[in-house]
Amino acid sequence: MTATMDFRDASDRAVMRARERALSGARETATPRGPQRRGTAAAASGVPHPQTRDRILSSWERCRRHAVDADRLHVPHLEQHIDWDSRLLAAAAPVLDRVGELLADCTASVVLADAAARVLTCRGGDPAVVRLMDRVHLAPGFSYAEEAVGTNGIGTALAERRLSTVFGPEHFAEPLQRAACAGIPVRNPLTGRQEGVVNLTCLRQDASPLMAAVVRRAAADIEERLLDRYSGGERAALDAFLAAVRRTSGPVVLVTPTLRTANTDAVSLLEPQDLRQLGALAADLLAAPPGSRRQRVDASLRLASGPDVRARCTLIGPPDRPVGCLAGVTMPEARTATAAPGRTSAPQAPAHRPPAALPALLPGLAGSSPSWRSASRDVASACRQRLPTRVVGEAGVGKLALVRAAHHWVRPGAALRVLDLATTQRTPHVLARTEEALRDEDGTVVLRHLELAGRELTHRLEALLVGARRNRGAGPWVVGLHTVPGPGPVAPAAPAGPVPPALDSAVFPCTVAVAPLRYRPEDIRELVPALLARHGRGGTVSCTPAALQVLTRFDWPGNVRHLSQVLQQAARGRRQADLQPHDLAPECHSTCRRTLTPWEAAERDTIVRALHDTAGNREAAARQLGISRATIYRKIRLYGVTVAPARAR
C-alpha cells in the first residue's frame, strides 16, 4: 500500500469518526478546532477545500434534525410533480449536452435537478459511475432533497444556496459514500430565485477540484440562456416587480399572461387562497377590455385569517398594451410600508389585534430543554399557520402529545381527529376516513404511524392530501406522525421488508423532529413530577434525589412513554411515598444497550434485586443467589448494572 493510500484511509476514518459523533448528537466534540481540522475530508479525496468540514457538520446537523436514515437510502420518487416543460430544462439542455460531450472520456456524470432537488436529467459518465448512480437512484424523477437523502451535492447546494462539494464519507447516508459530487444552484437572473441545481457526480477516488469549476461554468451558461428565454415584455414585467419589491415591504404578486410570481413576504404572510384571490384581482384587471381598463384599481380583500385588507393592482405598461400587473396588500400588522406597487405610502389598514404570541412551552407538557422548546415552538407555529407538518421521532417521544397540545392551544374547541395506521392500513378505509376528516375546515387531522403505510396507500394519501389542499385552500391542519426506529423494541405492527417512501415534501412542507429523551435528560426532572401526578391517584408520590439520579442516568429506549410506565409501576398502590432507587424497575439500574432476551432480562433483574437487598455488596449478593463472586462480577459487567455499594453512593 502506498503512503498516499494510507493517508487517505486515515482521513476517511477521521471523517467517519466525526460523522459517528455527529450522529450521536455530540456536535461540539465533532469539530476539532484549529488547523488540524482543516483539510481532513479534503485530503480524503485529494481536493483542497478548507471550508468543507464546518459546512458538512452543519449539514449533518440538519440531517439529524430531519431524522434522515444514515444507514439506508430513502430516495423519494416524485416524477408526477415535475414540470417536464420547464424553462430550466429547455434552457439547460444544450449546456448539458456540451458538458456531457466534454465528459465523454471522464468518469463523471452531469446531473440537473429542479428547485425541489428532483432530478430532471443526467448526461455522461463511465459505466462504473452510471452503475453507482443507478444503485442510489440518482436518476430522473427521484428527489435528492437533503432532508430525504442527507448531505449530497444537490440537496445541500439548495439548502445552503451556494456551491456544495461533498466527498465520500462526508455524505450522511452510508450508501452514497462511494461518490463525490459538486453542485451549484442555478438562479433565475431576473428574480434571483433558485431554479435548480447543476451537479457533477463521480466515484470518490476520481474527484478533482476542477469539478467545482465545471459546474460554475455550466450554471452561468444556463442562467444566461434562461434570460434569453424571457420575452421583452416578460423582462419589463419582472423588472417592475423587482423594483416594487425593493421599494416596498409586504406581499407583492406579479401576474403576466405567461408568468406568476410572488415575493417572500407574500408567500410567508398570506395563505394560499389569499394569494389566489390577489392573483385573480390582477388577472381581472389585465383581462378587462382595453377601453375600460384602468391603470390602477383598489379593492377590499377578506383574508383567510379573518381581517379585511386593502389590495391595490397596478398595470405595468400603458393600459392599452400592458405587459403585466402587480398586486399588493397592506397587512394588518404592517407598521410601515405597503406592498401596493408604484407608491411610497399607502392607506392604513384598519387596526387588528395581532395574534397572541406563541407560548414558549405548550401548556400541559413538561420539559424545557432547548430541543424540546424548539420542537414545541415549531409545532405551535405550524399549527397556527395550518402548515401541513410531518412530525418525526422515535416511539414515545411525545409527537402526538405535542400536536394535541398545539391544537388545543391554537384552536380550543375545534375537533382533533387521529387516524392511526397501526390499527388499520386498509387503503379504502384509511382513504375514506381521511377524506371525511378533511371536510372539517377548522380542526386538525392527524395521520399517526405514517411509516406503516405501504407504497399504494402512501401514493393514494399523497394524491388525496395534495388534491384537497389545491381544491379547498387551507382546510384543517394536517399532520403526519412518523415513528422512526430507535434502540427500543420495534412495534409489533411494523411491516417487514424495505421501508416504503414517506409522504414527500409537497404534502408536508414542514418537518419537525422530536429528539429522543436520552438526548435531553434535563427534561426528566420536569417530566417525573408531571407523570407521577398522573399515576399517583391524587396522592403525593414523589421521587427522592437518589431515585431521580437513577432515572436521569438511564437512557430510556422507549422515551417518555417508557419513563411513564416505570413511574406508573413504581407508584402502583401508593398514595403517598418518596420513591427510592430500589422502587424503580431493575432495568433502570442497568446500562446495557442491546435488547435482552427474556431470560437475560430476568437474570439481570434478579441480580439488581439481590444487590438492592444487600446494599450493593457484591459478595453478599452472590451468596444470596448461590453463585460465585467471579460470576456476579461478570454478570454485572455484562448487563452494565449500576447499583453501587452503599458506601460508594
Closest to ligand ATP by CB, 332 or 557: 557
Q: Does residue 558 belong to the site contacting ligand ATP (CB under 6 A)?
A: no
Radius of gyration from C-alpha coordinates of the chain: 29
User: Under the criterion CB under 6 A, does residue 365 sit at the interface with ligand ATP?
Assistant: yes
3-state secondary structure of 1: coil
Helical packing angle, 524-535 and 559-571, nearest 10°? 50
The C-alpha cell at 62 is 440538519
Verify binding: residue 367, ligand ATP, rule CB under 6 A: yes
DSSP 3-state helix, strand, coil percentages of the chain (rounded to 5)? Answer: 45, 15, 35
- Is 29 or 569 the residue whose CB approaches ligand ATP more closely? 569
Binding residues for ligand ATP restricted to 130-189, rule: CB under 6 A: none
Among the listed ranges 141-149, 324-332, 407-415, 560-568, the one in contact with ligand ATP (CB under 6 A) is: 560-568
Output the smallest distance, CB 18 to ligand ATP, in A: 29
| Of residues 273 and 565, the one with the C-beta less far from ligand ATP | 565
Q: Which stretch binds ligand ATP (CB under 6 A): 103-111, 362-370, 453-461, 611-619?
A: 362-370
Q: How far is the CB of 556 from ligand ATP (least distance, A)?
A: 11
What does the buried/exposed string (b/e) look like for 356-375 if buried means 16 or more CB atoms within 10 Å of the residue's CB?
A: eebeebbeebbbebebbbeb
Answer yes or no whether residue 486 interacts with ligand ATP by CB under 6 A. Answer: no
- Is 366 a binder of ligand ATP (CB under 6 A)? yes
We find the least distance from the C-beta atom of residue 355 to ligand ATP, in angstroms, to be: 24
DSSP H helices in 103-209 = 127-135, 146-149, 155-160
Nearer to ligand ATP, 67 or 129 (CB): 67
- Which helix (H) or strand (E) segment holds residue 635: the answer is helix 629-639
Site string for ligand ATP, 443-462 (x = CB under 6 A): -----x--------------
Task: Confirm or reject binding of residue 474 to ligand ATP (CB under 6 A).
Answer: no
Q: How many residues sit in the footprint of ligand ATP (CB under 6 A)?
A: 19
* Cβ atoms < 10 Å from Cβ of 84: 10
Q: How many helices (H) and strands (E) does the chain have?
A: 22, 17
Closest CA to 21 of 10, 32, 11: 32
User: Minimal distance in Å, beta carbon 570 to ligand ATP?
Assistant: 16
Q: Are 331 and 368 in contact (CB under 8 A)?
A: no
Report in angstroms the alpha-carbon separations of 127 from 101, 153, 205.
15, 20, 15
Q: Please tell me the distance from the alpha carbon of residue 605 to that of residue 596, in angstroms, as a whole number.
A: 11
Whichever of 531 and 641 has its CB closer to ligand ATP, that residue is 531
List 143, 165, 199, 483, residue binding ligand ATP (CB under 6 A):
483
d(CA 243, CA 247): 6
- Closest CB 407 distance from ligand ATP, rounded Å: 12
Residues 385-404 touching ligand ATP, rule: CB under 6 A, are 393, 395-401
What are the residues whose beta carbons fall under 8 Å from the beta carbon of 101, sequence distance 6 or more?
124
592 binds ligand ATP (CB under 6 A): no
Q: Is the CB of residue 117 less than 8 Å from the CB of residue 154? A: yes
Q: How far is the CB of 511 from ligand ATP (least distance, A)?
A: 14
Nine-digit cell string for 509: 412542507
Residue nearest to ligand ATP (CB): 398
Strand (E) or helix (H) holding 302: strand 296-302
Binding segment for ligand ATP among 158-166, 204-212, 266-274, 557-565 (CB under 6 A)?
Answer: 557-565
**Contacting range for ligand ATP; rule: CB under 6 A; set: 20-28, 129-137, 360-368, 598-606:** 360-368
- Least CB distance to ligand ATP at residue 543 (A): 16
The total of other beta-carbon atoms located within 10 Å of residue 629's CB is 12
Q: Which residues bind ligand ATP (CB under 6 A)?
A: 365-367, 393, 395-401, 448, 481, 483, 527, 530, 560-561, 564
